[in-house]
Amino acid sequence: MASYAIIFFLISSLLLLRAVSAVEYTVTSNAGGTPGGNRFDSQIGADYCRQTLVEASGFIWSIFRQNTAADRRNVQSVSLLIDRDYDGVAFANNNRIHVSANYIAGYNGDVKREITGVLYHEMVHIWQWNGNGGAPGWLIEGFADYIRLKAGYIPRHWVAPGGGTSWEEGYDKTARFMDYLEGRRSGFVSELNRRIRNGYSPDYFVQLQGKAVDELWAEYKAAFGNRD
């Protein structure tokens, strides 16, 4: 019986790898000669980033349990651009991820690990469903940081489990909450992502967890001593 499970896992993994490989991933630096561009070339590199995009896609699909093309967004190519004149951190738009060379230049720490985490976060925006634009921003960013959390690339400044004042704060606060809810019901995150394919309703929390989101948040805070 165990051997059949292993064979199924290997076949599923092979099919997933083939699907990931079918997507075209490109990396372009527009910051050559700048401090950030030079640090990108010497400490991170285009080849590493391209491989990270590939690995992040497979990881995201596995977390979202998107085993077939019908489960996923129809994305044929993903581009990563290292931008010279952008002062933020990163953003994704139209299957393009933009990362700030200024952020790379100024980051104090292991910049390769940090950018890996940033890429995992931004790749979620490439693949996640967003309720045809109707899903709230806190949930969209919470999904992205949840994937970053599960991939093991969280930065030092994140809140600890139980941190935050509202589930609607997004990013790390919402990601920690989602991790709690996943522990409460395995498959919650993947099912919630599936349900917001065409729209969003706060009732999804009731349907999947049996309680309204504000009740769940109160339980979450209590479970970790109501940390702020």
Residues 71-122 pLDDT 10s: 999 999 999 999 998 999 999 999 999 999 999 999 999 999 999 999 999 9
Q: Which residue, chain included where needed, has tokens 């929390």?
A: 205
Percent of the chain with pLDDT over 70: 90
Average pLDDT of the chain is: 92
As a whole number of angstroms, the distance between CA 19 and CA 22 comes to 5
CB neighbourhood size of 202 (10 A): 11
Average pLDDT over residues 200-205: 97
Q: What is the pLDDT of residue 8?
A: 42
pLDDT above 80 for 4: no
Q: What is the pLDDT of residue 3?
A: 56
As a whole number of angstroms, the distance between CA 65 and CA 214 comes to 27
Contacts of 33 (CB under 8 A, 6+ apart): none
| 165-190 pLDDT per residue, tens | 999 999 999 999 999 999 999 999 99
Q: Which residue, chain included where needed, has tokens 């139209």?
A: 94
- 3-class DSSP state for residue 161? coil
| 121-132 pLDDT per residue, tens | 999 999 999 999
Q: Which residue, chain included where needed, has tokens 């400490």?
A: 43
Rounded to whole angstroms, what are the CA distances from 57 to 3, 32, 174, 221? Answer: 27, 27, 21, 32
Contact 51, 119 (CB under 8 A): no
Q: Which residue, chain included where needed, has tokens 């997507």?
A: 23
| 31-45 pLDDT per residue, tens | 999 999 999 999 999
